[in-house]
């Protein structure tokens, strides 16, 4: 192998070697392209060591590498700088946009400037043994750097581990009982006396206790609710403890240098990535939101005839209220109000109507799909067998069909009756002819963007279900119902029984109120936001649209201008709008639930094949009430509706 390389010779002829130019020269070579049985970069690395040895520069390079910032390199590379998800995310965004002036010779900053990638880490892991040994001797830090890096990291981990919200997860324990209270001293002793068996045993016992404490904290979060910042800190602590262990292993002469080097490179590559930061933490929150949504979804599945008839009554009540909601909506839209006032008024109209349904136990059919999809994802995770899952889908489908029919078949005659009553009392229709025509024409499936607007509404229904699930998680994390029941001020105002009743009310209805209020706001303000951008958009909610169709048709009939052909097209449009509302919101909710639970698409694809076969054999199973109690196991649902 030729040792001469003009660029390398020029880099080494300036006296003491400078790390950054040498590393950039090395990284220019491909880690995967091979010549003479060896990757180009590996050949350069071999040539670099030979040139350093030939010029007697191995000592100065080792000193430059073991700069004081080597402590920061070992203790910080690949670990978040902040202890909150939002703080870390904001820092990474700023670092991407605004340059930072780093101290001269800072190894941590040097690795960051090199823009390393996963391929670089894989190359390090594949280095030949002889090169690992040569460079390991050259770059290995002295024992005091390992000790200082471990001690620094222990201080930071102890500060996070002793934060109040983490300690609050174990309300029965004393603060000084936390293993993080002893972590700093134990790590200091293990770093100063790396070969002392007693110090090593104390560190291992403390590490085990810290890991057990984190596992208990994770379990308590799973039992109640998830805070993204708290999950972020728990994951940070796990990473810090793992890094401390690696560093102390090196201090005791037991570490794997190649593995640590590859980990540092991977950490540097991911240091500014937002997706990497969000993936695990947000997935935990998404899973918890989906779990709360799935618990609510159990209420929307009719497994036997009695539950099916209960859904008929509930959906009929929802349709009854929706007729009045649609009439108020048309009346408010006709008022000469400023856009903001109009938007708030329309949102309040929807929210009051929907929350009244919540209180009365009525059902808005289009809210079901996102809830029941989460319940289906939970069944897929439990893997009780395809027969159970097919029966669950059949129950979901027939419940959705009857809920939609119950809403539509009640809201339309009630809406027409409201128009008739208004005409009988006042002598004229309650809405203008222009609004009536719009209510009729907006339902035609092939005029304008009716079907696209129905799909958009399905997205809004899914988003509102996420709002309900997030609220349920937040309430559980804060122990809000229990806190209200025990609040001294509330107990003095309403008495102990009144405070407990309020707590039960919040537990049962808060998530539903949040989801319905979010739905009302989305139905109003999303089209306004599109209009602000110069894009025309409307919502097409199956029950509201059915009421609008009936209101418009009845008005035009009393005026003698009704075209029945348009009514027929409108009825077809109602059916298609219902299908799109259901399909889009269910698909998005199921996709979210599967992703949050790390379930593969293969299981769901196999399920759909089994469903198609079952539907082909017996379509009535998916559309009509069950003839007897289904074989689907009943699961105990949560108390809250959404």
For 20-40, what is the mean pLDDT? 87
Enumerate residues 6+ apart whose C-beta is below 8 A from 575.
none
What Å distances lie between residue 322 and 270, 364, 365, 459, 500, CA to CA? 50, 9, 11, 20, 32
Average pLDDT, the chain: 83
- The answer to whether the CB of 16 falls within 8 A of the CB of 60 is yes
Q: How far apart are CA 255 and CA 64, in angstroms?
A: 22
Residue 1 pLDDT greater than 50, yes or no: no
553/326 Cα distance (integer angstroms): 14
Least confident piece of the model among 14-23, 68-77, 487-496: 14-23
Kindly write down the DSSP assignment for every residue of 300-360, as one continuous string: G---SHHHHHHHHHHHHHHHHHHHHHHHHHHHHHHS---HHHHHHHHHHHHHHHHHHHHHH
CA nearest to 403, candidates 355, 371, 435, 441: 371
Provide the token pair at 471. Answer: 């609220």
Calculate mean pLDDT across residues 346-360.
Answer: 92
d(CA 459, CA 530): 15
Best-predicted range by mean pLDDT among 353-367, 508-522, 615-629? 508-522
Question: Residue 284 pLDDT > 90, yes or no?
Answer: no
* Max Cα-Cα span within the chain: 106
First to last CA, the chain: 72
Is the pLDDT confidence value at 147 over 50? yes
Structure tokens at 537: 């958009």
Average pLDDT over residues 126-153: 88
Beta bridge partners of 38: 35
Q: Name the residue with tokens 């219902």.
A: 578
Q: Which two tokens stand for residue 179?
A: 């293993």
Q: What percent of the chain has a predicted confidence (pLDDT) above 90? A: 27
Burial 533-543 (b: 16+ CB within 10 A, else e): eeeeebbbbbb
8-state DSSP, 624:
S
Give the span between the Cα atoms of 128 and 347, in whole angstroms. Answer: 67
Please tell me the distance from the alpha carbon of residue 423 to that of residue 439, in angstroms, as a whole number: 18
Q: Cα separation of 235 and 249, whole Å?
A: 21
- The DSSP bridge partners found for residue 39 are 34
Q: Give the pLDDT band (50/70/90) at residue 635.
A: very low
Beta strands in 456-535 (DSSP E): none
Specify the 3-state DSSP secondary structure of 123.
helix
Query: Phi, psi at residue 162, to the nearest 5°?
Result: -100, 10
For residues 308 and 351, the model is more confident at 351
Say how far apart CA 344 and CA 286 lie, in whole Å. Answer: 29
Residue 48: name the closest of 4, 89, 109 by CA. Answer: 4
Q: At what angle do helices 564-596 and 542-559 cross, to 10 degrees?
A: 170
Q: What does the pLDDT read at residue 601? A: 59
Task: Tell me 169's DSSP state.
Answer: T
Please name each of the domains of the chain with its CATH number. Answer: 80-103+142-272 (1.20.120), 286-412+438-623 (1.20.1080.10)
So what's the pLDDT on residue 250?
Answer: 87
DSSP state of 641: -
Q: What values do phi and psi take at 245, rounded to 5? A: -60, -45
Residue 470 clears pLDDT 90, i.e. is over it: no
For 402-461, the pLDDT digits (tens) are: 888 889 999 999 999 999 998 888 888 888 888 888 888 888 888 878 899 999 999 998
Residue 641: per-residue pLDDT:
38
- Residue 376 — pLDDT band, cuts 50, 70, 90? low
Distances from the Cα of 415 to the Cαs of 322, 354, 432, 551, 579, in angstroms? 9, 17, 15, 6, 22
Higher pLDDT, 101 or 56: 56
**DSSP calls for 18-65:** PHHHHHHHHHTS-SS-EETTEEHHHHHHHHHHHHHHHHT-HHHHHHHH
Distance CA(544)–CA(242), nearest Å, equals 55
196 SS3 class: coil
3-state SS assignment for residue 473: helix
Closest CA to 476 of 164, 227, 219: 227
pTM, two decimal places: 0.72
Contact 581, 457 (CB under 8 A): yes
The 10s digit of each residue's pLDDT in 205-247 is: 999 999 999 888 888 876 666 777 788 888 889 999 999 999 9
Q: How crowded is residue 219: how many other Cβ atoms within 10 Å of its Cβ?
A: 10
Provide mean pLDDT across the span 519-547.
Answer: 92
| Tokens (6 digits) for 84 | 């909150």
């Amino acid at each position: 192998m030729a040792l001469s390389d003009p660029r390398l010779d020029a880099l080494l002829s300036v006296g003491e070697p400078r790390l950054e130019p040498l590393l950039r020269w090395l990284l220019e070579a491909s880690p995967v392209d091979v010549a003479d049985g060896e990757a180009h970069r590996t050949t350069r690395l071999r040539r670099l060591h030979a040139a350093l040895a030939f010029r007697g520069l191995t000592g100065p390079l080792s000193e430059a590498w073991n700069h004081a910032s080597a402590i920061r390199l070992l203790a910080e590379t690949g670990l978040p700088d902040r202890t909150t998800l939002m703080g870390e995310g904001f820092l990474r965004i700023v670092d991407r946009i605004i340059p930072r002036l780093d101290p001269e010779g800072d190894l941590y900053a040097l690795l960051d400037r090199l823009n390393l990638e996963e391929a670089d880490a894989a190359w390090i892991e594949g280095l030949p043994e002889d090169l690992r040994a040569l460079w390991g001797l050259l770059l290995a830090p002295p024992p005091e750097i390992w000790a200082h890096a471990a001690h620094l990291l222990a201080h930071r981990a102890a500060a996070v581990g002793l934060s109040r919200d983490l300690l609050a997860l174990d309300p029965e324990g004393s603060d000084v009982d936390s293993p993080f209270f002893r972590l700093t001293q134990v790590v200091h002793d293990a770093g100063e006396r790396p070969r002392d068996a007693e110090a090593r045993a104390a560190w291992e016992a403390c590490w085990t206790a810290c890991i057990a404490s984190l596992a208990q904290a994770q379990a308590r979060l799973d039992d109640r609710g998830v805070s993204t910042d708290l999950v972020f800190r728990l994951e940070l602590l796990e990473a810090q403890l793992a890094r401390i262990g690696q560093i102390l292993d090196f201090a005791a002469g037991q570490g794997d240098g190649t593995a640590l080097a590859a980990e540092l490179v991977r950490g540097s590559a991911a240091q500014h990535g937002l997706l990497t930061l969000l993936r695990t933490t947000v997935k935990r929150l998404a899973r918890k939101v989906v779990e709360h949504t799935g618990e609510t979804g159990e209420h929307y599945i009719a497994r036997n005839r009695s539950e099916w008839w209960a859904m008929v009554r509930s959906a009929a009540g929802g349709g009854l209220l929706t007729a009045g909601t649609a009439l108020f909506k048309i009346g408010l839209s006709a008022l000469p109000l400023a856009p903001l006032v109009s938007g708030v008024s329309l949102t309040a109209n929807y929210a009051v109507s929907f929350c009244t349904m919540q209180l009365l136990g009525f059902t808005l059919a289009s809210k079901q799909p996102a809830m029941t999809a989460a319940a289906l994802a939970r069944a897929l995770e439990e893997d009780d067998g395809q027969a159970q899952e097919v029966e669950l889908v059949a129950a979901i489908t027939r419940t959705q069909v009857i809920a939609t029919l119950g809403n539509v078949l009640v809201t339309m005659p009630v809406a027409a009756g409201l128009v008739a009553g208004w005409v009988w009392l006042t002598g004229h229709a309650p809405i203008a002819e222009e609004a009536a025509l719009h209510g009729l024409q907006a339902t035609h499936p092939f005029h304008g963007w009716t079907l696209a607007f129905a799909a958009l509404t399905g997205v809004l229904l899914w988003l509102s279900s996420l709002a309900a699930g997030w609220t349920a998680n937040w309430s559980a994390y804060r122990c809000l119902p229990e806190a209200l029941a025990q609040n001294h001020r509330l107990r003095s105002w309403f008495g102990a029984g009144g405070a407990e009743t309020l707590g039960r009310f919040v537990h049962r209805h808060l998530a539903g109120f949040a989801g319905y209020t979010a739905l009302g706001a989305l139905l109003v303000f999303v089209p306004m936001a599109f209009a602000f951008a110069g894009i025309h958009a409307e919502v097409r909610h199956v029950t509201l649209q059915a009421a609008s169709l009936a209101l418009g048709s009845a008005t035009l009939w009393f005026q003698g201008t009704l075209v029945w052909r348009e009514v027929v097209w409108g009825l077809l449009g109602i059916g298609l709008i219902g299908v799109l509302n259901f399909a889009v919101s269910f698909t998005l909710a199921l996709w979210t639930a599967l992703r949050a639970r790390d379930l593969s698409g293969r299981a769901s694809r196999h399920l759909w094949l089994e469903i198609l076969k079952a539907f082909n054999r017996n379509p009535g199973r998916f559309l009509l009430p069950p003839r007897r109690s289904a074989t689907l196991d009943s699961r105990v649902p949560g108390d809250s509706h959404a």
